[in-house]
Chain A
Amino acid sequence: MINSVRNTVLSILNKNNYGYISPADFNLYAKQAQLDIFEDYFYQYNYQLNKENVGTSGTGYADITKGYEEVINIFSETKFLAHQFNNKFFTPSPITTNDNYYLLNKVLAYTRLLASGVNSAVTPGQLDDLVSADFVADGVQVGDIVANTTTGQVAFVGQVINSQELELINEDGTVADIFTASPEGYAIYDDAIVNEAEKVTQSKITMLNNSMLTAPSTLFPAYTQQEPLLTLFPASINTVGAVQCQYIRYPFDPKWTYVNLVGGEPAFDQSQPDFQDFELSISDEPTLVLKILQYAGMSIREVAAVQFGQALEAKEDQDEK
C-alpha cells in the first residue's frame, strides 16, 4: 500500500510541477499520518458506541463499530510480560516485547503453579528435570505455560513425554528452545486457571489492599502502573510466566525503501530488510494520501495542496459520521 500512497501523493503534488518530496521526507510524513489515523480509530470507536447507545446505529453491514473493532484488533498483541523482581513486571516495550504499547487492554494472571524446580539436562526443544520432577503427578498438561525463570523466556507444553520430560512449543506451534543450559530454573503454570487483573489507581491501591472485603486475591487480582512497571497484587504473583498482557501496540513506522536510482528516480524495492508497509486497512488509503499531502504541501509551501487535503479530509469525516 505504501508505494501506491506515495505514487498518489507525488502525482497530486507534481501537478503543474508544484514540487517533489524525497523518500526520507515521505517516510516522516507517512509516520505522522499513520499515527494520526490510528489514534482517531479510538475516538471514532467511542463515537460509534455512543451512537449505538442512543439508538442511531445499525446492525449487519451498518455496524460501523464492528469495523473499528476489527481495525483496532490488527494492532492487538498478547504477550507474557518480562519479570523485574517480586511482583513487578515490565510493561511492553521495544526491549521486552519488540513493540510500543498504546494501551493495556487486559492483564491476565496465571495463579496456579503446577511445578517448579531446575532443569537437570539440556535437550533442544525440551524441559528435562530428571532429578526431582513428576510432571504427570503434578497435573501438567498440553498447553500449560512453561517459564524459564533464569532467562525469562516463556513457552508452552507441546507434549508430556514422561513424568520428567516435556516437549516445548511456541505459541505458533514451532519448537521452543528456551532451556539452553543447566541448571536453569523453571515454573509451570496451569493455562486453564487464569484471571483478569484489574487496573487500580495509585490513590486507591493502599486502601484496596487494606480492605477486608475487596483486597486483591488470586481470584480477583489487581495491578497498578508506574512506568515502566506493573505491580501485581496479591504479591504472590511474582514469577515470569504468571502475567500475560493483551494490549494495543502502536503501528510500526512505515518506510518506503528503494535500492537505486533509475532515470533519476528512486525505484521502489520492498525486499529491503527495513521495509515497512502501512499497517492500516486499505480503506484508510485515501485519508493517508490526504494527510501526507497536507504535510508535503506545507513542506513545499504550496497552500493549494494543503487546502485540497484539508477540504477532502473534512468531507470524508463528515461522510463517515
Chain B
Amino acid sequence: MPYISQYQYYENGGNQPENANWGSYQYVSLYDIVNNFMLMYSGNHSLVNNEERYKVLFHAKRGIQELNYDAFKEIKILQLTVCNTLRYVLPSDYVNWVRISMHKDGLLFPLTENIQTNWSSAYLQDNDCRILFDHTGEALSPQYSELDFDRITGGEKSIYLNSNSPFDGMMGYCCDGYWYFDYRIGARYGLNTETANANPTFSIDKKAGVINFSSHVANESIVLEYVSDGMENGDISSITVNKLFEEYIYAYIEYAILNSKKGVQEYIVARARKRKSALLRNAKIRISNIHPGRLLMNMRGKDKWLK
C-alpha cells in the first residue's frame, strides 16, 4: 500500500467518504502482510519455501482472528433499541461480548449477565405430558416457552435485586426514587453480592444469535460492546493489523507453516515458536500503552484515606 498525501489522508482526495483514510497509518493491510511474507520470508534461501500463497493467506487470517479476540483491544460498539420482545439480535460480525449497558437518562448502566437462564425452547404437550408431533414427525413448539413468556410479559421473578425481585414491594426505604431493602423481614441474614444489582439482566442465546433481556428493558436503548474476528465481513481489502503486531504476524505465519510441515527439524520449529511468543509479548506490552501520564490520574488517589 503506497504512502498517501496529506490531502488524501484528511479529505480522501475529495472523494467520499471523507474519513476513509483517517487513522490508516496505524495499520498494515492483510494484502501487504501476505505480499511481504511471500517476498521476505519465503523463497529459495528461506526456511519457508515452495509453499502455496493460499496457505500463507490462511495462516495470516487465522493469526489476525486470534489477535482480534483479545490482544488488539479493538472493541466494536453497537447501540440498538430493544423492543417488546426483549431481544437484541447479535451483530453480523459478533464473536464475543465485552460489556452490555443500558443507555438511559444520559448514563450508561452496566448490565449483569444473569447466572440463571432466562430463555428456553419448549414442545407442546398433552395432559399426560406427552409431546405432540406434526405429520412429519417433528415435535410441535409453542411461540414462546413458559420461561420466555413470563419474562416478556413481566411475570418472571428475578434473583437479582431489581424490580422483578421477590423482595420488591417489601418493607424498605425509598431514596431519590429508588427503593432499598436491608433484609427480608424475618428471613434474610446478609446479601448475595453476586445478584445484588438493581439493573436489568441479560442472557445470551448464542445459537439463536440473540441477547435476551429481563423485563423492563422494552423500548430501552442498549449498548453492546463486543469483539469481532477482524475479517471485515469478507472484504479482504479492509482487513488490517495494527503495526505493533506486524512482526508478530510474520513470525506467526512462519511458525504455523514450519510446525505443520513434514521433515522440519524440531529445533527450527522451537526457534520459530519462541520468536513468535516473544514478539506477541512485546506487542501486547506496547499496545497496552502503559506510561506515567496514563497512570497519573489513578495514582493521585493513592493517598486517599479509606474509612
Contact = CB atoms under 8 A, between A and B. Distances in A.
Contacts, number: 34
A53 interface: yes
A160 interface: no
Contact of A53 (B34, B45, B55): B45
Contacts of B261: none
Interface of B: 31, 34, 44-45, 52-55, 57-58, 61-62, 231, 234, 236-237
Contacts of B57: 213-214, 220
Given A49-B44, A52-B45, A53-B45, A217 B54 contact: no
Nearest to A217: B236
B96 to A, nearest CB: 18
Contacts of B234: 212
A208 B57 CA distance: 12
19 contacts: A52-B44, A53-B44, A200-B52, A200-B54, A208-B54, A211-B58, A212-B234, A213-B58, A213-B61, A213-B62, A213-B231, A214-B54, A214-B55, A214-B61, A217-B236, A219-B236, A220-B34, A220-B236, A222-B54
Interface of A: 49, 52-53, 198, 200, 208, 211-214, 217, 219-220, 222
Given A213-B61, A213-B62, A220 B45 contact: no
Contacts of A220: 31, 34, 53-54, 57, 236
B230 to A, nearest CB: 12
B44 A219 contact: no
B237 A219 contact: yes
A313 B128 CA distance: 97
Contacts of B62: 213
Contacts of A52: 44-45
> For the complex, would chain A's binding face be called helix, strand, loop or mixed by DSSP majority?
loop
A222 B56 CA distance: 14
A198 B54 CA distance: 8
A208 B55 CA distance: 10
A191 to B, nearest CB: 15
A200 B31 CA distance: 19
Contacts of B52: 198, 200
Contacts of B236: 217, 219-220
Given A213-B57, A214-B57, A219 B45 contact: no
Nearest to A196: B53
A120 to B, nearest CB: 29
A211 B34 CA distance: 17
A278 B99 CA distance: 74
Nearest to B34: A220
A206 to B, nearest CB: 13
A53 B54 CA distance: 25
A222 B61 CA distance: 17
A88 B218 CA distance: 56
A214 B53 CA distance: 9
Contacts of A214: 54-55, 57-58, 61
A320 to B, nearest CB: 20
Nearest to A52: B45
A53 B52 CA distance: 20
Contacts of B31: 219-220
Contacts of B58: 211, 213-214
Residue among B54, B231, B234, B236 with max Cβ neighbours from chain A (10 Å)? B54
Given A214-B58, A219-B31, A198 B53 contact: yes
